[in-house]
Each structure stands twice: as C-alpha cells, then as structure tokens.
Amino acid sequence: MKKYKIGLFGFGCVGQGLHEALSDNPQVAAEIVKICVKNLDKERPLSKDKFVFDPKSILEDEDIDLIVELIDDAKLAFEIVSDALRQRKPVISANKKMVAENLDKLIALQQEYDTPILYEGAVCGSIPIIKTLTDYYSLENVLEIKGIFNGSTNYILTKVIEENKSYKEALEAAQVNGFAETDPTLDVEGYDAKYKLSIVIEHAFGVHVHPDNIFNQGIQDITKSDITFAKERGLKIKLLAKAVKYNNYFSAYVAPHFVSKESPLYHVENEYNAVLVQGAFADDQVLVGKGAGKLPTGLAVLSDVNAIANNYRYSQRQVSSMAIQSTVEEVYVSFSPEQPVNFNLFTNVSEKYIGQNSGYVIGEINTDSLQELLTNADTNVIFTSGAKEEIEIHRLTYSYEIG
C-alpha cells in the first residue's frame, strides 16, 4: 500500500494529538514529513528541521500528497485547503468554522478536482458522527438530529448546576482544563455548536445551510433564577443544537434547553458530547463521547488519514430542495421585572410570573419574534421541548406560581 506523505498545518492541541495517535498506529499508511506553524521559535517535542513557517513550502512540495489542516485561523485555513484541492492533494481538516462557512465551495472544489476532503474531527471530537451519517444513515430518512455539540459549555453548565459554582468560576475551570479557549465567545454564545450543526445538516438532510442562517443563543445570559426554576422541577439546562425535518422544510437552532431525567442527554455531563439521531426506520440512536481534546480529536483526524489511505471519500446525499424556516417553539423566557418582555410576541402564553427580582413567561413563539425579544437587555431564553411534560406537571402541582 502506498504510504502517504503528510504536510501538517498546525502543531497545537490537535496537531500534537494526531502525531501521538499516528505514532501509536504504525499500520496507518502515512507519515508526517513537514509541519507548518506560526512561531518557529516555540519549543517543540520534535526535531526543529520538521517545522516550516511558509505554507508554500508544504503546498509546493511535490512529494507531499496529503494535507492535514489543524490551525485556528479559519480564513487562512480555507486558502490552504482550497489551494491543496486545486493541486489534487486530498485534505483533512478539523476546522468547523472554516468547513461550515465554506461547505458549498468545498463540495464544488472536491467535485471539480476529483479530490476528497474529510472533516470528522470538526464535529464532536471523538464521536464518529459524520461517517455514521454519511455511510450508515445513507439509506435512512433522518427526521431529527440533536445533541450536546460543545464540551466547554456542557462542562460549565455541569459545574454551575451540579456543583453550585459561579459562571465565572466554572468558565475559569474550563479554561484551566483546556476545554475552553482564552476567548470563549464562540463556545459560550453557541457559535461553535452551530458551525457543527450546519455540517451535520449537510450530511443528515443533504442541504447546505450557512451558519449565519441558524438561530443561536448561548449560555452567557443564564441567571440564578433560571437555574432555580430548573432545579425546583428536577430539570437540567443543556445547550442543545437541534435540526428537525418537516414535510418540505426544516428548523435548526442552538439554544439552552430544559432537559428532564427521561432524556439520555440529561446524564451527559462535563466535557462530554452526545448526538441523538432519530430516523424513520432505526428510530432513536445516541452516540456519546469526548467532544474535544488532544487525543480524542487527534484520533478522529487519524481515522480520516486512514480513510484516505483506503480510498474513502464522502458520498454526497441526494441534494434536497428543503429550506430552513422559522418555527413556533415553546420556550421559557426570563427577564428583569423592571423591563418585562413584549408578551404580545407570543402566540400563546401558558405561564407568567413577575416577582420582585425576576420574572418569566412560558409560551409559544415564532423563532423570528424570539430573536427580536432577545434584543431586550437582561433577557434569556430556554427552550422547553426537552422537558415540556415535567413543566406541565409542575404547573398543576404548584399552580399558585401562575401569575
């Protein structure tokens, strides 16, 4: 079998994880021959002569026949990846932002130059969701896909809800443990999860939806009273990414959800991710695993290297004409009593409470109106679809709370 010569871009967390995983698997027909990094003066665990600074010294090296892109700069990553595909060099990337924002262009380049790009490591770390959807589910009518797609936010929510840590303490612990970036915005505001959701939608439904068209609300606005509300009802709050197929359209969003004990997602804690796929034939299946980190992601990238060495490429799902649409969802919205939200934006209100320090409303609202409502300061939303029955039972039991 031919041994691929890898030109690696990036030798940070994932790049080093790939190196370790490959060293442990000499049967994989590939070796890393050059590594491009930003700072050549950094101490590295490998011989200095492997490292280069100029991307061209990899891209123009005719001996290199596989490009693995693991840098943290999405714009440059797209330039590197497109250049490589144009030279008919197969590509592997773990960069969800780059892949999600350019998926249509990447598919076109892949077809035009008849050269594969794989990106298993970009979505939920060690969980093999892309290959599972592409291969195993290729004959399945996927109806819904949802899950915990971001390990940092799940870690923070676990610490805040289970261990009563403050949001700041939990975020700092996530950063110390390497689960959250120094700038955590992409994680905590739900962007990272929606990049992954956009990629998953492509492989589950055969539709490309740009991440800008997916609603996202993160965990940054969750208040103490939201957590009290959840705890009193035996619920947890999880940041879920979710896409649901209807007849000729689908909905997709990332938002905090109340999750009840009956859901398999209730038990997924800390940096773990989970993906729940509902199909017309197979019904529900859940995949749970480490969503990030050096070795789990390094192994996902290595599995793509091995796949390329075995001539694997993603088969395209039949392209669907379905479009994303806003939908009416039942949500809990909390607000400051000094600045109540516009209740008229709800199509149906089932519960309303305004106390001295906090207020909330539970009702049905169109996701476009929800976006408008969230422009109010001190307003947060939690979707109730993972725990609707529990909230209804509570409403019967504690009816005095209804305002």
Q: Please report, as ranges, the residues that interact with ligand NAP according to CB under 6 A.
A: 9-15, 36-39, 42, 70-73, 76, 94-96, 121-122, 125, 292-293, 297
Least distance to ligand NAP from the beta carbon of 265, Å? 20
Please tell me the chain's helix, strand, coil percentages from 3-state DSSP, rounded to the nearest 5: 40, 25, 35
| Alpha helical stretches, state H, 255-384 | 294-309, 367-373
> Closest Cα to residue 267, out of 278, 259, 255?
259
**What distances in angstroms separate CA 351 from CA 85, 120, 221, 222, 400, one per listed residue?**
55, 43, 21, 19, 11
CB-nearer residue toward ligand NAP: 73 or 330: 73
Q: How far is the CB of 290 from ligand NAP (least distance, A)?
A: 9
146 is catalytic: no
Minimum gap (Å) between residue 171 Cβ and ligand NAP:
16
Q: Are 398 and 354 in contact (CB under 8 A)?
A: no
**Structure tokens given for 187:** 């994680």
Measured torsion, CA atoms of residues 390, 254, 134, 27, in degrees rounded to the nearest 10? -100
Candidate list 194, 196, 236, 290, residue with the active-site label: 196
Residue nearest to ligand NAP according to CB distances in the complex = 12
Smallest distance, ligand NAP to C-beta of residue 216, A: 17
The nearer residue to ligand NAP, 68 or 373, going by C-beta atoms, is 68
> Nearer to ligand NAP by C-beta: 19 or 236?
19
CA–CA distance, 228 with 224 (Å, rounded to integer): 6
Integer-rounded Cα Rg, in Å, for the chain is 22
In whole angstroms, give the CA distance from residue 177 to residue 159: 13
Q: How far is the CB of 73 from ligand NAP (least distance, A)?
A: 5
Alpha helices in 191-266 (DSSP H): 191-205, 224-232
Cα dihedral sign for 360, 242, 185, 300? positive
Catalytic residues: 196
